[in-house]
Copies of this chain bind each other. A is one copy, B any other.
C-alpha cells in the first residue's frame, strides 16, 4: 500500500501521514523508487490515531496507543499506559465541561440581566412569578 492509498483507506491525507511519520507515530518501509510502503498494521495504527483525535486527544496522547499496537496487541488501549491516558483525558474533559457550563451560566445570567434592562426596569419585571417579563429569545433582530 502506498501513501495515497493508506490516506484514502484511513480517511485522511498524505500530508497528515507524513506529519505523523515526522512525529514518530508512523513508520514506513520504502520501495525501489523511494516511495513509502505500508501494510495493514500501519492502517490500524492510523485508524487508532484518527479515532482518538476525533474524541479530542492530542497527537502526543495517542502515542501510547500506537506503541501498544506496535507491541503486537490487537487493541491499542490494552496497555496500561493507554488506560492512564484515558483516565487523564476523562478528568480533563470533566473539568472542561465544568468550566464551559459555568461560563454558559454566566453568559445566560448576563443576557437575562441585559434584557431586563432593555425592557425597562418596571417593578413587575423583577417580580418572580410575574407575567413572563423576559425570555423572548426568538425573532426580532
Contact = CB atoms under 8 A, between A and B. Distances in A.
Contact of A137 (B11, B87, B89, B111): B87
Find the residue from A56, A101, A110, A115 having the highest chain B CB count within 10 A: A110
B137 A51 contact: yes
A83 B114 contact: yes
Nearest to A84: B141
A89 to B, nearest CB: 6
A138 to B, nearest CB: 9
Given A107-B55, A111-B87, A78 B139 contact: no
A15 interface: no
A118 interface: yes
Main secondary structure of the interface of A (DSSP, over half): helix
A130 to B, nearest CB: 15
Which size class do A's interface residues fall under? 35 or more
Contacts of A101: 97
A87 B111 CA distance: 8
A60 to B, nearest CB: 16
The 8 A-B residue pairs with the shortest CB-CB distance, nearest first, are A86-B111, A77-B114, A51-B139, A93-B104, A55-B103, A97-B100, A56-B103, A55-B106
